[in-house]
Structure 1
Amino acid sequence: MLQFVLIGINYKKTDAATRGLFSIDEQKNISLISEAKLKGIDGIFVLSTCNRTEIYATTENTALLLKLFSSHTNVEISILNKYCYIKYGDEAIQHLFEVGAGLDSQILGDYEIVGQLKKSFQLAKKYYTTNSFLERLFNTVLQSTKCIKQETKLSSGTISVSFAVVQSILHQLNDVKNKNILLIGTGKIGHITCKNIIDYIQPYNFAIMNRSNSKANELATELNINSIPFDCLTTAVNKADIIIVSTQASNYLITQSMIDIRKERYFYDLSIPNNIDPRINILKNQYLKNVDDLSKINDETLANRRKEVPKAIKIIEVHKTEFKQWLQLRKYAPLLHSLKKNLIELKEVGDKIVHEEEVKKTIKKIATEIREKRQPTCFYMQTVHEFISRN
């Protein structure tokens, strides 16, 4: 029997390095969902961020999902089983609602997850691996998230990994304005981090770098800062006092062998998998923090967000109930379609013409009763009898 299944790993059981093993980039994502479709799974999408990698699917074959997860991350199933969680049905639905709301994020209320969810689902739609169940569920989750954003302060205040790196810099270093800052990576998180550095630090010496030099030049022009060609990476890193990396490379961009240890440097790796070799931390005068380190924020903003959690959960319950009502009614869709067709085909009842509008009202009444009372059989027979009697 088909059921809604979630298999995932997240920050609660794994560190950044381990999560990097299970990271699924766009190409791997396409490959995984395409293979799943070929093997009979008609509804599947994959969410992979710095905090989690999760596969959502409608299937009766959980073993196949585990195999796909394992093969497309090149991690043995025994290791996957050690770290992953599997949720079914209502538990999986609740989890998706909480993920969308930012309740399950490493930084509570992180609203960036909404954009990441949308991107993941749009990719699945592009490759035709969604179905009516996933479409309805996903849209209901988005509606819930929108209400939470509008009606609570769960995402209020400035608190995210891209802001946490700025807080960490200001906390760790003195005279930050005069430090040489290098940001590598101009994707969404890199872009936000770049703006936060300009707004909160206002450094005199700030440069950005990207594998695509044109993208770096474009952002540099927009923000009136410097850009450095990517082939000058080693020189730029050794010149900088603060290096922030927000890229999606499959291997380390910055390694031990590149570093001149005569100068003190602070590294911040916002990438999953890690794009800075963690062993840099053991070098003299070199200090490294990754996303897990930066997410350990406990300030007034976070305390205020925690107070909003009960409100968010109530909003989720409202939308989840609506989804369950739709799901309940969906079971009787074939019956309702058949009934409507048969009633319309009755050209005459006695000596009166059957009007289609009357048929629609009858079907709507039956559907409402099914949804609210969940006792369809006797009721729809009674309603049809009333329909014929009226006509």
Structure 2
Amino acid sequence: MHKNGTKDISKFFIAGINYRKTDAEMRGRFALSPEQYATLLNQAPEFGVQEAFVVSTCNRTEIYGFADQLAQLEELLCSQTEGCSKEFRERAYVKKGIEAIDHLLHVGGGLDSQILGDYEIVGQIKQAAKTAKQHQRIHAFTERLVNCMLQSSKAIKNNTRLSDGTVSVSFAAVQFIREHVKHIRNKKIVLLGTGKFGRNTCKNLVDYLGTNNITLINRTEEKATVLADELGLQSAPIEELSVQVAEADIILVATNSPEPTILAAQLKSKQQKLVIDLSIPNNVEAAAAALENVTLVNVDQLSKLKDETLAKREAEVPKAKAIIEEHTAEFMDWYQMRKHVPVLKAVKTKLKEIHTSPLYITLQPHHTACTKNTDEKIQKVINCMASKMKEQNQRGCYYIEAINEFIATGTE
């Protein structure tokens, strides 16, 4: 990285694990809570990292950022996770430079999701970057890259059918319920966790199951109450969790706890129960799967669901990739021009010095001190120089040429 702020793209890395090589349990060992993420961002300089952000979802944990060595980013990430650096490196994929940029756009476009076309990942990346910026870990390069990803993702959403059908884990949960539970309106549903992911799940339950027999529970009771009032549902305080779970036919867990929030003992009953754990790490005690009255489903099982639109979505992948290539090229054009900014600024300063020099004033009989006309003339020369540098990248030649052009045109 240069002192003037221009980044060396060869030192931009992404290292991560996802659903392809790790199960939900292992991904849980590298998941970050909001508190852990904040600590990671604050401690980044201690690891030699000034610019970075982390995407931690049920499908993946990835760290993006600039570092002299990839190990700095890996150590930073693992400093806040249950899993260690050795475990991470054994399972991680790594990309740098333009390949890392391309990877982010593929992730944001839903092409690398556990469910093809999953659009929820866009909001998760956006929030991760927003948090990093609040901690001063996002600067010009990364902010521009995230914006490029958002534009690319929006273009894919608007110009392809990649997001048709079952395209999120929360909707897959609804599909699973619809296919496996009869007389759904007679069933009592409990949803534990009303954060952003829980809210999306709740709205899908209401929209697609046609039932309002849903009770919301959240550690912060007010969040559950507000959402319940908004959607015409019921809410209950966390202190009533055991009672509500005992009475429920269907329990969905969308919490973000390092320890199980639903225990096997709470599920023991003669009543048949469907329990869907949408959390990473898993927030339903593993022993619950052995109970005769319980069907326990996690995110990996939900992601294997197929729907009738999958083949159509797969056919849209080439269109999505073409959109990504276009936006990647635009970003690289911006990056290449940004490398020239110091030279352009230096030339602009020099032209202003020339304009006020006695020798120049002597050589220009029509010289005027009008700042507006001078600024416009200088900017025109700089724009022309920038275009030529973009095409041929001959910085020294164009430096001299710009000065000659400025002198030759005079001030009229």
Q: Structure 1 length as normaliser, TM-score?
A: 0.95
Q: Distance in 2 between matches of 1:340 and 1:299?
A: 59
Q: Distance in 2 between matches of 1:193 and 1:70?
A: 30
Which residue of structure 2 aligns with residue 308 of structure 1?
316
**Percent identity of equivalent pairs:** 44
Which residue of structure 1 aligns with residue 4 of structure 2?
none
- The answer to whether 1:363 aligns with 2:382 is yes
2:23 to 15, 18, 35: 15
Could you tell me whether the CA contact under 8 Å between 2:12 and 2:100 is conserved in 1? yes
Structure 1, unaligned stretches of length 5 or more? none
SS of 2:378 mapped into structure 1: helix
What amino acid is the match of 1:138?
Answer: V
1:353 to 367, 381, 405: 367
Give the drift of 1:142. 1.5
Q: Residue by residue, what CA displacement relative to the aligned partner does 1:6-54 show, whole Å, maximum 9, x if unpaired?
A: 1111111111111111001111111112111344322111111111111
Map 1:1-80 onto structure 2 (within 5 A): 2=8, 3-80=11-88
Q: Residue by residue, what CA displacement relative to the aligned partner does 1:296-351 show, whole Å, maximum 9, x if unpaired?
A: 13222222221211111111111111111121122221111001100011123612
Which residue of structure 2 aligns with residue 194 of structure 1?
202
Could you tell me whether the CA contact under 8 Å between 1:178 and 1:204 is conserved in 2? no
Q: Distance in 2 between matches of 1:343 and 1:222?
A: 62
Q: Structure 2 length as normaliser, TM-score?
A: 0.90
Give the drift of 1:124. 0.8
- The answer to whether 1:372 aligns with 2:394 is no
Which residue of structure 2 aligns with residue 319 of structure 1?
327
Structure 2, unaligned stretches of length 5 or more? 2-7, 369-373
Could you tell me whether the CA contact under 8 Å between 2:212 and 2:232 is conserved in 1? no
Give the drift of 1:158. 4.9
Map 1:1-391 onto structure 2 (within 5 A): 2=8, 3-203=11-211, 205-346=213-354, 347=356, 348=360, 350-351=363-364, 352-353=366-367, 355-391=374-410
What amino acid is the match of 1:141?
Answer: M
What amino acid is the match of 2:72?
Answer: L
Give the drift of 1:243. 0.7
Q: Distance in 1 between matches of 2:401 and 2:23?
A: 60
SS of 2:147 mapped into structure 1: helix
What amino acid is the match of 1:216?
Answer: A
Q: Distance in 1 between matches of 2:89 and 2:402?
A: 52
What amino acid is the match of 2:178?
Answer: L
Give the drift of 1:95. 0.4
Task: Identify if the C-alpha distance between structure 1 residues 273 and 364 changes in structure 2 by more than 3 Å, giving closer, same or farther.
Answer: same
Give the drift of 1:71. 1.6
| Number of equivalent positions | 391
Give the drift of 1:356. 2.1
Give the drift of 1:259. 2.3
Q: Distance in 1 between matches of 2:211 and 2:378?
A: 70
Task: Identify if the C-alpha distance between structure 1 residues 213 and 105 changes in structure 2 by more than 3 Å, giving closer, same or farther.
Answer: same
Which residue of structure 1 aligns with residue 5 of structure 2?
none
Give the drift of 1:231. 0.9
Q: Distance in 2 between matches of 1:193 and 1:299?
A: 18
Could you tell me whether the CA contact under 8 Å between 2:42 and 2:135 is conserved in 1? yes
Q: Residue by residue, what CA displacement relative to the aligned partner does 1:62-115 show, whole Å, maximum 9, x if unpaired?
A: 222121122210322211111111111111111011111111111111111111
Q: Distance in 2 between matches of 1:99 and 1:312?
A: 11
* Greater shift in the superposed pair: 255-264 or 26-35: 255-264
SS of 1:300 mapped into structure 2: coil
Q: Residue by residue, what CA displacement relative to the aligned partner does 1:220-264 show, whole Å, maximum 9, x if unpaired?
A: 222222212211111211211111111112210111222224221
Q: Distance in 1 between matches of 2:293 and 2:82?
A: 35
Q: Residue by residue, what CA displacement relative to the aligned partner does 1:91-148 show, whole Å, maximum 9, x if unpaired?
A: 1111011111111111111111111111111111111111221122112111212222
Q: Distance in 1 between matches of 2:245 and 2:23?
A: 26
What amino acid is the match of 1:81?
Answer: R
SS of 2:79 mapped into structure 1: helix
Q: Distance in 1 between matches of 2:95 and 2:213?
A: 49
Task: Identify if the C-alpha distance between structure 1 residues 310 and 187 changes in structure 2 by more than 3 Å, giving closer, same or farther.
Answer: same
What amino acid is the match of 1:298?
Answer: K
Which residue of structure 1 aligns with residue 371 of structure 2?
none
Give the drift of 1:291. 0.8
What amino acid is the match of 1:304?
Answer: K
Q: Distance in 1 between matches of 2:166 and 2:267?
A: 33
Q: Residue by residue, what CA displacement relative to the aligned partner does 1:178-220 show, whole Å, maximum 9, x if unpaired?
A: 1121111111222222222222223363222111222222222
Could you tell me whether the CA contact under 8 Å between 1:179 and 1:204 is conserved in 2? no
